[in-house]
Structure 1
Amino acid sequence: MSKGPGLFSDIGRRAREILYKDYSCDRKFSISTQPNGLAITTSTLQKEGLPIGDVAAQYKYNNAVIDFEVDTLSNMAATLRLDDILQSTKLIASIKLPDYNSGKFELQYFHEHAAIGSSVSLKNYPVVDVSAAVGTSNTVLGVEGGFDTFTGEFTKYNVGVSMIKPDFSTSVILAERGDLVKASYVHYLEQVRTTTVVEFANRFSKEGNTLTVGGSCAVDDLSLIKLKLNNQGDFGAVLQHEFRPKSVLTVAAEFDYNSLDVNPKIGLSLALKP
């Protein structure tokens, strides 16, 4: 694939990963095995007091990747990814059962100075999504649109811009049909292995805005701490420790400092991989 700009969905990704990834207050335990090139993961999730178990399998053959997942609620999901079916092109087909209308085809094309993504849902009146990003691996301008052929209306039209440098990255996204503007700034402090983030979000249909600050710090080669705090009173913390190669213990906590009488939410995740 090209080393040019990524897809529109990559704009602001680094800030989202630091501020929102792994801040889960559920209980999850997963074990992965890899017999004969087939990767199998079994997991148990305790979500809102309801235990959910699932089995996921992934098989790779040349440029094809097949993912299959089934859980104890009789939900199934299957995804087929084909890389470089044409030069710098990726095809993705996915479906979730029992929702037969969830089927979707995606086509992605990557060029030195552009990346294009398109998807079509597999139903009588499909929803068509198209995105395009132009620029380089350092500076990207992107647009995204969605159209519902049943209602004849646009489901989304978003625009974003990002700049990535060795010691910082920044992005601005106008989303939700012009109702939401979100800007983020990420700064890297390599000497102390720390990353800081500031994110500002404003929804024009509502009064007020949200300012979130956070960051991540590598305590050592095996441990990572992430923190976040916003002006709405939400505080979150994540501690991750790799106690053996590829096996990670994650502890997450969230609470509202405006309601200190409410118990904080605690999450625990244990992932064991070969």
Structure 2
Amino acid sequence: SFTKYNTGITFNRPDFSAALILMDKGQSLKASYFHTVNPSTAVAAEMIHRFSNYENQFTIGSSHAIDPFTSLKTRFSDNRKVGMLYQREWRPKSLVTFSSEYDTKATNSATKFGIALALKP
């Protein structure tokens, strides 16, 4: 028997993509949209609706290529979390990533910071 299953439909064009996905055994619906503004910048939005409690989640984000080896990504969500990611390819297929997330609801808690290193020989 299936323990998890999802179904969806997507519409793709050269400069944008839109999708509807029925998730969690039909308990949630996710709608997403991705738009390429120019060759180095893109924006995206995602909304998730849970049918069981009529709860909605909404997130918007952006991605910008600073140069061919460096990208900057941002994310803002309706639960008042803000995230940023800076990624640099310092050797072919080897990446260093710095990330942070700030929860504006929990002003007493510290901002989360992260660093990742991915090496390929």
Q: Structure 1-normalised TM-score?
A: 0.42
Match of 1:248 in 2: 95
Look up the SS of the partner of 2:25 in the other structure. Answer: coil
Match of 1:179 in 2: 27
Match of 1:164 in 2: 12
Alignment root-mean-square deviation, CA: 1.4
5 Å matches for 1:83-102?
A: none
Higher RCO, Cα 8 Å, sep 6+: 1
Match of 1:41 in 2: none
Deviation digits for residues 193-243 of structure 1 (CA, Å, limit 9, x no counterpart): 111000000111124311100011000111101111111111111100112
Larger radius of gyration: 1
Deviation digits for residues 145-168 of structure 1 (CA, Å, limit 9, x no counterpart): xx1xxxxxx533432100111000
Greater helix content = 1
Deviation at 1:177, TM superposition (A): 1.7
Q: Which runs of 4+ in 1 moved over 4 A?
A: none
Greater displacement, 154-163 / 231-240: 154-163
Question: What number of residue pairs does the alignment pair up?
Answer: 121
The runs of 5 or more residues in structure 1 that have no matched partner are 1-146, 148-153
* Structure 2 letter corresponding to 1:236: G
Over the matched positions of the two proteins, sequence identity in percent amounts to 39
* Structure 1 letter corresponding to 2:4: K
The runs of 5 or more residues in structure 2 that have no matched partner are none
In the alignment, which of 49, 59, 79 is matched to residue 212 of structure 1?
Answer: 59
Determine the C-alpha separation between the residues in 2 that align with 1:254 and 1:159: 31
5 Å matches for 1:28-39?
A: none
